Amino acid sequence: MNLADKINQPVFHHVGNVADSLSRPCYVVGGYVRDIFLHRHSKDIDFVTVGSGIEVAEAVAATLGKGCQAHVFRNFGTAQVKRHDLELEFVGARRESYSRDSRKPIVEDGTLDDDLSRRDFTINAMAICVNAAEFGELIDPFDGLADLDDQLIRTPLDPDVTFSDDPLRMMRAIRFATQLGFSIVPETFDAIARNADRIGIISRERIADELMKIMASPMPSIGWELLAKCGLLIHILPELDAMRGVETVNGRGHKDNFYHTLQVVDNVARKSKNVWLRWAALFHDIAKPVTKRWDAKLGWTFHNHNFIGARMIPRIFRDMRLPMNEKMKYVQKMVELHMRPIALVEDVVTDSAVRRMIFDAADDIDDLMTLCEADITSKNEAKVKRFLDNFALVRRKMTELEERDRIRCFQPPVSGEEIMEIFGLRPCREVGTIKEAIKNAILDGVIPNERAAALELMHDEARRLGLSPVSDTL
């Protein structure tokens, strides 16, 4: 098959001409070729040449004009050339062998067939020639094009060897299946299951990178379900794996919290591209296995699973090498607060309760509501409608109260510094008591969120504490 029209761009002709001048066979390979057939745009282009890829890269850079240079990585035998918004990666064709306890290969020069056979999946093991004489010719030794048409993920060679050599490829198989909506062929999937424990030699950072791509996919549940079924999940996130299954006592079972969670994640994904809100959805019930209890009167209970789950988040993020910054704190807050809107709709929706929820969630209140609406996964349509109607009521109240009381970006009308100056105090418990009284009075609707009312309450609370002003009220 000739694909000259698909790569009829100056960059491919230029690289091909340079390779011809050096008498080097040269091919565009991997993801760029795959994405041509998937009609996906890519700015990263990988080239393989038989011989030194660094030599071709340096020659390409030299002919692209002043200021363009090749960034060489000699330890890996690769070089990169950046041109405008394109990144061109060059490597010499190679064959690889592995030791049992490492995914770092022993690399030797090889042929194009050697290079394509070492790649992870058939859909990534295709090449297109850029040399002038065979420009656009497709090389597809493992029928990757047929697998693209059939939407299949399979390894070019023995999958047990492929995954044992480089266990990260197991994560990549699941990530591609999730991103593309493809199926993993049975022999490839079975090999993942057989080699799942090999994932232990892969750094947590590399695993986290694949998981982030799964979470950014249109239906993240595909990846998480595959991870569970092949046995990888228990190695990379045992807390989530523990949520699988249903326990029954006296004929009463609880819902499968794992599959409920996946449904919540997909519900969030349909409404939001915020990947950290998707992580919050994944972890919102993470403490249910450790809080699950059977009560003869109440049935299955999961008391305080939101608070205990929030306390688990820092350790999970640290273990998984996810960022220990405001992203972690955001997920932790969402996990802790995810029961609040549900508690509201199951009871009378009071202004005070809504104000407190807005105050605690602050700028993340809309995300919290999205998470809680996604958490309604009942098959009882009447129940779902009732909950969603009540959530709509909560949202209306939120809008009204926010417009009136400005709770979301709450700043106390009277600061702690002012209280200390007015009553001649140093930092002490009494200052905190007065500030807390003002905050609670505003959130409970006892006083408006206004300075005059807050000052009056401040003096009342100070008298109760036996304090007298030493300066005029500011």
Q: What single-letter amino acid sits at 100?
A: R
Same domain, yes or no: 38 and 129: yes
pLDDT in tens, 27-75: 999 999 999 999 988 888 999 999 888 999 999 998 887 778 888 888 7
pLDDT band of 152, cuts 50, 70, 90: very high
pLDDT in the model for residue 261: 97
The answer on pLDDT for 207 being more than 80 is yes
Pick the residue with more confidence: 67 or 158? 158
pLDDT in tens, 165-190: 899 999 999 999 999 999 999 999 99
pLDDT in the model for residue 69: 83
pLDDT band of 390, cuts 50, 70, 90: confident
pLDDT band of 316, cuts 50, 70, 90: very high
pLDDT in the model for residue 105: 58
Backbone angles phi, psi at 387, to 5 degrees: -65, -45
Q: Is 309 left (phi over 0), alpha (psi -120 to 50) or beta?
A: alpha
For residue 120, being part of any structural domain is answered with: yes
Please give the mean pLDDT across all residues of the chain. Answer: 90
For residue 390, being part of any structural domain is answered with: no
For residue 436, being part of any structural domain is answered with: yes
Compute and round to an integer the Cα radius of gyration of the chain: 30
pLDDT in the model for residue 450: 86
For residue 291, being part of any structural domain is answered with: no
Exposure b/e, 213-244, CB count within 10 A at least 16 = b: bbbebebbbbbbbbbbebbbbbbbbebbbbbb
The answer on pLDDT for 199 being more than 70 is yes
Tally Cβ neighbours within 10 Å of residue 254: 18
Chain length of the chain: 474
Cβ distance 79 to 73 under 8 Å?
yes
Q: Is 322 left (phi over 0), alpha (psi -120 to 50) or beta?
A: beta
pLDDT band of 350, cuts 50, 70, 90: confident
Q: What is the mean pLDDT of residues 221-242?
A: 97
Same domain, yes or no: 66 and 159: no
Give the strand pairing for 44-49 and 26-29.
antiparallel
pLDDT in the model for residue 42: 84
Q: Which CATH number covers residue 69?
A: 3.30.460.10
pLDDT band of 223, cuts 50, 70, 90: very high
pLDDT in tens, 361-378: 888 999 999 999 999 888
For 48, the domain range is: 10-149
pLDDT in tens, 404-456: 767 766 677 888 999 999 999 999 999 999 988 998 888 888 888 888 999 99
pLDDT in the model for residue 391: 83
pLDDT band of 306, cuts 50, 70, 90: very high
Same domain, yes or no: 99 and 54: yes
User: Which among 105-109, 245-249, 305-309 has the top mean pLDDT?
Assistant: 305-309
> What string of DSSP letters covers 189-244?
HHHHHHTGGGGGGS-HHHHHHHHHHHHTSS-THHHHHHHHHHT-HHHH-HHHHTT-
Same domain, yes or no: 119 and 229: no
Last residue within a domain, chosen from 133, 149, 165: 149
pLDDT in the model for residue 106: 60
Q: What is the mean pLDDT of residues 350-358?
A: 83
The structure tokens 């305080």 sit at 304
The answer on pLDDT for 321 being more than 70 is yes
Instruction: Specify the number of domains making up the chain.
Output: 3
Query: Closest by alpha carbon to 29, among 20, 17, 42?
Result: 42
Backbone angles phi, psi at 64, to 5 degrees: -90, 0
Same domain, yes or no: 14 and 143: yes
For residue 187, being part of any structural domain is answered with: yes
Last residue within a domain, chosen from 95, 123, 149: 149
Same domain, yes or no: 40 and 133: yes
pLDDT in the model for residue 98: 54
* Cα-to-chain-centroid distance, residue 30: 24
Query: Closest by alpha carbon to 117, among 96, 135, 134?
Result: 96
pLDDT band of 142, cuts 50, 70, 90: very high
Last residue within a domain, chosen from 191, 208, 236: 236
Same domain, yes or no: 24 and 127: yes
Cα–Cα distance, 182 to 37 (Å, whole number): 14
pLDDT in the model for residue 437: 92
pLDDT in tens, 242-274: 999 888 888 787 889 999 999 999 999 999 999
User: Which among 43-57, 129-143, 373-387 has the top mean pLDDT?
Assistant: 129-143
Helix 429-443 vs helix 351-361: angle between axes, to the nearest 10 degrees? 120
Same domain, yes or no: 76 and 158: no
